[in-house]
Structure formats: C-alpha cells, structure tokens
Amino acid sequence: MKWCREHWKLTVAVGVFLVLLVFTLVSYVNQGSDFWLGRRVQGAVAFVQEPVTLGGNAAATTVRGLFQFRSILEENEALKEENARLQKELTEAVLSQQELQELKTLSKSLNYVSPKDGYHYVSATVTAMDPSQWYSTFTINEGSQKGIQKDAVVINADGLVGRVFEVGPNWAKVISIIDEKNDVSFQVFRDLKLLGVLSGDGKGTLTGYMLDDQAPVIKGDTLITSGMELYPQGIPVGKIIEVTKDEDALLQRVKVKTAVNFSNIQKVTVIIAR
C-alpha cells in the first residue's frame, strides 16, 4: 500500500488499464448482447448526432452545388433511384421466365407465399460513421420503433451493405459485409447456377470460393446474393476482381470488390422480415 501511495500516478494508470482490459474481456464474452448503459449512451449520442449529420449533409450538398449545378445533383439522385429500380427489375427478369412460370404454377398449386412478400422496407439516414479508419460500422436514425430488429439486412442503391447488429428505439448500429467474417452465399448474375460463399478478408474486400471448383467464373462477373442464408436473393454484392485456383484445397477462390462504396454512405434501406 505504501508503494502504491508513493507511486500513485502509476497505480492509477495501471488501475485504469486493468479496468479497460476487464471491459474488453466482458464485451468479448458477451458479444452482441444488450448492455443497458451502452444503449443509454448510444441513444443520447444518436440524439445529438442526427441533427448535426443532417445539417452537415445539407451543407455538403450546398457546397457541392456551388461547384456543380444543383440540377445535375438532383438528376443524379433521380438516376440512381431509377438505376436501382431497373437493376432490381433486371435481376428478377433474368431469373428465367420459364423457370418463374413453373415456380408460379407450383406455388399456386401449393398455396405458397413468396419470401419477397414477407419483407417490408424502412429507409434510414446514416447519422454517424466509425472513426477508426478501418471499419465501416455506422449508426442509422431508425430503430425498433420502425420494426428494425437485430440481423435485419441493410442495402442501398448500389447493393448489399450489411446487417444490423445492435438496435435501440430510434437508432441501429450496422456492421458492413467487409467487416464481417460471417459468410455471404452468392450466385453469379451471368449464370445463376454458379454458386459460392464470400466473407470479409480484413483488407477492405471480400474473398471466398466457388462451390464448384470448375465453375467458369471470370474477372468482372457480377455477384448477387443467393438467398440461402441471412440475405434475401437478388441483392448485388460486387464484382469479381481476381480468380485463383487453390490446388491444395481444390478450390476456386475469388476476390470481390463490393458494389457499395463504404466510405460515403448517406441513405440506406433496411429489409425487415414480416
């Protein structure tokens, strides 16, 4: 005790270090579980961040408008929305007309309800981004009051963004697909029979493998979600930037650049299962 009193600064520093270490260990053990104080703090911070972000976005748009024509920006936004809509339509159209017809006939005879009918969508604004420079975790301004739940899928006009990993009444924390080690199952848009699995590689991109090691995938192929896991079918994931053969594991590995630019996300849509 005497030593502690004589070296009180060092003792305090070591004490704080140990407390923080305990926090880290506890949060590691209880990953994803609700933490009352954390939710309160997050709620209060989100309450302040939302107007600041909206003000900042408005100011940024205005400043950009000074250098570009405002009308071009509006046209750009409209085109983005149209592009997203057309992309969705195209994806649906590619799912073989005949196959679709057969499935519809079958579903009618079985009184089957389509999974797509089982979703509703909530639009949200990104109110805060992770400042760590590596992670693309962010907070949105909608939460459980709008029906958002943990693991709800988040997309934007470009494609798959990630999933909700923590939710409060009027905020939700979203973890991006590049930060996740969870698998995303995909199919190649050019040939929907080609399936594979992807996950974040810790370098800001996605890597994975094809289920068939002889699958004829090429650089530039667009990948969409296959609907086999958490993510509904038909959401663009990204484009293949590298295909390599892993002779030892007998796998065909792919490296994928995400369709979404994670550095500047402002609007997202949350897909909620009914």
Here's the x/- map for other proteins, 207-246, by CB under 8 A: it reads as ----------------------------------------
Q: Which is nearer to other proteins, 11 or 233 (CB)?
A: 11
Q: Which is nearer to other proteins, 23 or 112 (CB)?
A: 23
Instruction: Tell me the backbone φ, ψ of residue 117, rounded to 5 degrees.
Output: -75, -15
Q: How far apart are CA 166 and CA 176, in angstroms?
A: 13
Interface with other proteins, residue 24, by CB under 8 A? yes
Q: Token pair for residue 102?
A: 């057969």
Given the rule CB under 8 A, which of 147-155, 182-190, 200-208, 237-245 is the region that contacts other proteins?
A: 200-208
Q: Which is nearer to other proteins, 141 or 222 (CB)?
A: 141
Q: Which of residues 50-89 bind other proteins (CB under 8 A)?
A: 52-53, 56-57, 60
Q: How far apart are CA 207 and CA 209, in angstroms?
A: 7
Instruction: Tell me the backbone φ, ψ of residue 140, rounded to 5 degrees.
Output: -115, 165
Given the rule CB under 8 A, which of 75-83, 140-148, 195-203, 237-245 is the region that contacts other proteins?
A: 195-203
Cα 57 to Cα 21, 42, 50, 65, 102, distances in angstroms: 37, 21, 11, 12, 47
Given the rule CB under 8 A, which of 80-88, 112-120, 143-151, 197-205 is the region that contacts other proteins?
A: 197-205
In three-state secondary structure terms, 15 is helix
Cα 192 to Cα 54, 95, 152, 226, 242, distances in angstroms: 40, 8, 25, 9, 19
Q: How far apart are CA 66 and CA 48, in angstroms?
A: 28
Query: In whole angstroms, how close is the CB of 19 to other proteins at the nearest point?
Result: 9
Residue 126 contacts by C-beta under 8 Å, 6 or more apart in sequence? 53, 138, 139, 140, 265, 266, 267, 268
Q: Which of residues 104-163 bind other proteins (CB under 8 A)?
A: 127-135, 137-139
The contact set with other proteins (CB under 8 A) reads 13, 16-17, 20-21, 23-24, 26-28, 31-32, 35, 38, 41-42, 45, 48-49, 52-53, 56-57, 60, 127-135, 137-139, 165, 173, 175, 181, 201-204, 263-265
